Structure 1
Amino acid sequence: MRNLFFFVLICLSIGVISCRNNKKEDKAVKIAQDSIPLDTISKLDTIEKEVKKEDAETLEEVLEKIAKAYTDQDSKTINNYIHPKLGIYIIYRPGALDSYVHQSNFNFSKPVPEYHSYEKLSYKGPLKAEKLPAFDCGTMKWDKLGFFYDKKSRPNELSQTAKFMNEILDAKINRTELQRLRNIETRSYRAIMTSNESEEPFVFHVTKEGEKWYITVIDRAYAGCDA
């Protein structure tokens, strides 16, 4: 009986000590919170809002920024919109058939193909969401001029190029890679910025990865009528 009494007494003592310690910790947290200056809290809130704003770039904003960077030949900005794992594909036409190269970055001083330099273009905004312009190789003219992207369709030029590279050039692009290209296209939009027939168009794709948009394709083959 005496042993039971001492056991109960010890348990009660432990409970009281634990309760006091918890109250001290709660009080310490409250003091720490109260000691943070209001202007610091305000600055933290501002930083958080700025980060969210930066992460929330719309598709249209990204399309316009990339187009302006391309016309300014601003490689740094273009590279800021290249995903480190997706990279960027440059589609070009070395002969009668389109091909592509896959790069981790983009450089205006190293064109693809090397004999076809990146021309200095002029920005043809504002951006419009409608059917993409088409080029007529008979008249050598576009059916409309300006900067457009199509919200109602997804591009397939990259995966089609890979398919033809396998069939005609025996490129040996495996099924896993082909499926990866198709998956990229399901999250992509195609944009075309056209001028008159004397100026090269800017044709590119942007892809959503996570919450951000990235440039994944520059198509230098479209509107080429050399075949």
Structure 2
Amino acid sequence: MKKNIIMYTMLFLLCSFSFIRAQTAEDKKQISTAVTEILKGFQTKNGDLMNAYVNKAYGVGVLFKSGGDLGFVLNEEVDFDMPLGYIEKAWNIRNQFPIQFGDVSQYDSKNKKWKKEGLFVQFNSNSVNDYVDKFSDVSSIKDQDIFKINSDPEDVVFVTLAENSKENAPINGFRFVMTRIGAKWYLTLIDVTEYNAE
């Protein structure tokens, strides 16, 4: 009897582990497709392609720095005919790297370049909570829906396309946040904080 309980327990744990692995594999597949299409949309300035991943209820926020202070603007959708915070129309990306799951590359603000080039996708990212802590009026920022849905790191993926280019400096690459809402991953925040607009 004791052996049967142990055997059933082990079987249950193995099945649970297999389900978790399958879910992670499905997330990676869905995120890989979304990242590829979002970057292609940005590269070709195709808002429709990017908007397929924007949740209509939450929109897409743009995080930026101006005079050293962190700020953000909320847009209903990506529209390259209108200003998207501090995203310049001439901002170009090459988007030539394969996706690497894991830690992201760090940006060297002093030298205006990435420490390591590549396309990095970081699961379980606490990046949005870190940004919220940097706003001067934290309480009102945390109350906004776009930040509330990003408060649980398990539902947040931070994407960094780290590209160093002399002609684009100080704007190199592209960063954005994807959030799991229900069973789908959405583009919720675009991070242009490496470019300090004055």
The equivalences for 1:65-214 within 5 A come to 65-113=37-85, 116-117=88-89, 119-151=91-123, 153-156=124-127, 158-165=128-135, 168=136, 170=137, 173=140, 176-177=143-144, 180-183=148-151, 185-198=153-166, 199=168, 200-214=172-186
Q: State whether residues 73 and 120 of structure 1, in contact with CA within 8 Å, keep that contact through their aligned partners in structure 2.
A: no
SS in 1 for 2:69: coil
Contact 1:142/1:196, CA 8 A, preserved across alignment? yes
Q: Deviations over 1:91-128 (max 9, x none)?
A: 01121111001111111122333684351322222111
> Aligned pair count?
166
Say what the alpha-carbon RMSD is for the aligned residues.
2.8
**Greater fraction strand:** 2
Question: Residue 164 of structure 1: CA displacement?
Answer: 3.5
| Per-residue deviation, residues 149-182 of structure 1 (Å, max 9, x unmatched) | 123x4133x34444443xx3x4861654377154
Mind listing any 5+ residue stretches in structure 2 that lack a counterpart? 1-27
Cα deviation digits, residues 4-44 of structure 1 (max 9, x gap): xxxxxxxxxxxxxxxxxxxxxxxxxxxxxxxxxxxxxxxxx
Higher helix residue share:
1
Match of 1:34 in 2: none
SS class of match (2:62): strand
Cα distance in structure 1, aligned partners of 2:54 and 2:87: 24
Q: Distance in 2 between matches of 1:99 and 1:86?
A: 18
- C-alpha distance in structure 1 between counterparts of 2:44 and 2:141, whole Å: 37
Q: 1:134·1:144 contact (CA, 8 Å) conserved in 2?
A: yes
Compute the displacement of 1:197 (Å): 4.0
Greater Rg by CA: 1
Unaligned runs of 5+ in 1: 1-55
Deviating above 6 A after TM superposition, structure 1's stretches of 4 or more consecutive aligned residues are none
Alpha-carbon distance change, 219 to 85 in structure 1, aligned in 2, over 3 angstroms: same
